[in-house]
Amino acid sequence: MPIARPHTTLLAVMLVTLIGTAGIALPYPVLAPLFLEGPTSELTGFMGLPPKLLLGILLALFPLGLLLGSSVVGALSDQFGRRRTLVCTLLLAAAGYGFSALALSRENYLLFAVARFVTGLCEGNIAIARAMAADLHPAIERTRALSLAMACSYAGWLLGPLGGGYLAASGADFVFWAGGLASTTCALLAQLLMPADKPAVSSGGSLIRLVHAQNSLALWREPAVCALALFNLLFTLGVNAFYEFYPFWLVEKFGFQAHQIAWNTVIVTGVMIATSVLAVPAIKRRLGAEPAVFKGAVGLGILLLLLPWTDVAGAYAMFALIGVGIATVNGIFPAIMSERFAEFGQGRVMGLLTANFCLTSTLIALLGSGVALLGSQWTLMLGGLLCIAGAVWFAHLEHAPAKWSEKVEAQ
């Protein structure tokens, strides 16, 4: 059934994605200085544990909540409605930010840790916004809608840390109050601008049973979904190897300071935004969806293999090209998943992609740290090999149409 006012809905999706992602990223510049450079307090010296360990626990809890939340809330939105689920989770996330701010002001580490985990659970609602973008097809072409949503996500990751860095001057708790305000604003926008939901569908069982049966991670049991999700897993491992370890490499090779690293981040993110907004639909039309994903993944892999051997000037150019590769695959591949597996529910499918990203972020942080002991360039090259391995697997799938049809029919 077509969605009324599709362009208004897309605008709401973009605003929610931008503000919500910026809210997630706001605290990033705050926690490390608070725990590693600030004075010892009941918060930073909880139970006499080292501040680095306490910080590590906090940094792990949020993405763990995000992983679990993204695997569930997308599926819940398929069942109970996009707007209803999105507004509820945004308000719960706002409460999580509020409790985080209170915990900081009272120097209560346990409350802060629980609040960060709960906030992560609720911020899994990014999957809902992406599902709504996919729902707009055919009124708005699916790749176009998803690319614009991704562009807003990139912009949020760029603006959030900048905003958090400036707001931190008013106090660490003030940053979390700002995150709560961002989530509340998103909830208001969703309620006002997004289409009303249909009546909730009876699940025929308890909520716990529904979550167990319909969560996004359960899609790994579907052979056809699993095959493409494996590509996504390999590719996002490679992308996260770049995201998490290029600052290490810039420091090791060029002795970059924080502001210089920030400019590289601005370059890659700016190019990703521009590519998503201006180029991805045209690339898909010119090359076709599957060839564009394959070439984008291969190109990114080659760039990551070559990046460690460039000089400073070359690195800036390479970062721009890397932004093109990431944005191309991230703009087109979700549309492929959406088109092929719509029968499983757009919320579940988008939730699976979000959960994969969270999972690979954790995995590559552990694996890449070990490899980086030999030199951060090896972690970047590992990322390149993972992208190429994903591309080879994707090409194998796309050249086996008979197997694909058998898998889809078997479902």
| Residue range of the domain that includes 74 | 1-195
Q: Find all residues with CB under 8 Å of 385, minimum gap 6, and list them.
A: 238, 301, 305
Spatial separation of the C-alpha atoms in residues 248 and 365, rounded to whole Å: 12
Check residue 40 and report its DSSP letter: P
Based on the structure, what is the number of domains in the chain? 2
Spatial separation of the C-alpha atoms in residues 199 and 231, rounded to whole Å: 36
The answer to whether the CB of 130 falls within 8 A of the CB of 334 is: yes
pLDDT of residue 367: 85
The answer to whether residues 174 and 277 belong to one domain is no
Q: Is 401 exposed, middle or buried (0-12, 13-18, 19+ CB in 10 A)?
A: exposed
Cα–Cα nearest to 72, from 174, 200, 214: 214
The answer to whether the CB of 203 falls within 8 A of the CB of 339 is: no
Q: Is 176 exposed, middle or buried (0-12, 13-18, 19+ CB in 10 A)?
A: buried
End-to-end CA distance of the chain: 24
Q: Find all residues with CB under 8 Å of 409, minimum gap 6, and list them.
A: none
The answer to whether residues 123 and 235 belong to one domain is no
Assess if residue 276 is contained within a domain: yes
Give pLDDT tens digits along the chain (411 positions).
456 678 888 888 888 888 888 877 777 778 777 887 777 888 888 888 888 788 778 877 887 888 888 888 887 888 888 889 989 999 999 999 999 999 999 999 999 999 999 998 888 788 888 888 888 888 899 899 999 988 988 888 888 878 887 888 888 899 899 889 988 998 998 888 888 877 555 555 555 666 666 678 889 999 999 999 999 999 999 999 998 888 889 888 998 876 677 788 889 999 999 999 999 999 999 999 999 999 999 999 999 999 999 999 999 999 999 999 999 999 999 999 999 998 988 888 988 998 898 888 878 877 887 888 888 899 999 999 999 999 999 999 877 654 444 444 443
DSSP-assigned states of every residue in 96-108:
HHHHHHHHHHHT-
Assess if residue 209 is contained within a domain: no
270 CB-side CA count, 13 A: 10
- Structure tokens given for 331: 């703009």
89 CB-side CA count, 13 A: 30
- Structure tokens given for 231: 């590509």
Spatial separation of the C-alpha atoms in residues 167 and 175, rounded to whole Å: 6
Residue with tokens 């059934």: 1
Assess if residue 391 is contained within a domain: yes
Assess if residue 200 is contained within a domain: no
Domain at 111, CATH number: 1.20.1250.20
The answer to whether residues 299 and 219 belong to one domain is yes
The answer to whether residues 385 and 290 belong to one domain is yes
Write the CA distances from 376 to 248, 293, 302, 381, 384, integer angstroms.
6, 27, 17, 9, 13
The answer to whether residues 363 and 314 belong to one domain is yes
Given 164, 195, 226, the domain boundary residue is 195
Residue with tokens 């190019």: 271
Spatial separation of the C-alpha atoms in residues 356 and 225, rounded to whole Å: 13
Given 166, 195, 224, the domain boundary residue is 195
- Structure tokens given for 172: 């660490």
The answer to whether residues 124 and 220 belong to one domain is no
Check residue 276 and report its DSSP letter: I
Helix (H, G, I), strand (E, B) or coil at 298: helix
Give the angle subtended at the CA of 76 by the CAs of 73 and 77, to the nearest 5°: 90
The answer to whether the CB of 55 falls within 8 A of the CB of 43 is: no
The answer to whether residues 177 and 225 belong to one domain is no
What is the amino acid identity at position 83? R
The answer to whether residues 173 and 280 belong to one domain is no
pLDDT of residue 214: 66
pLDDT of residue 407: 44
The answer to whether residues 279 and 180 belong to one domain is no
The answer to whether the CB of 137 falls within 8 A of the CB of 10 is: no
The answer to whether residues 266 and 407 belong to one domain is yes
Assess if residue 206 is contained within a domain: no
The answer to whether residues 222 and 275 belong to one domain is yes
The answer to whether residues 231 and 116 belong to one domain is no
**Radius of gyration, CA atoms only, the chain:** 21
pLDDT of residue 338: 92
Given 195, 223, 256, the domain boundary residue is 195
pLDDT of residue 208: 67
Assess if residue 55 is contained within a domain: yes
Assess if residue 204 is contained within a domain: no
Q: Find all residues with CB under 8 Å of 96, minimum gap 6, and list them.
A: 115, 116, 118, 119, 122, 180
Spatial separation of the C-alpha atoms in residues 352 and 259, rounded to whole Å: 35
Cα–Cα nearest to 307, from 269, 254, 260, 349: 254
| Residues in the chain, overall count | 411
Helix (H, G, I), strand (E, B) or coil at 367: helix
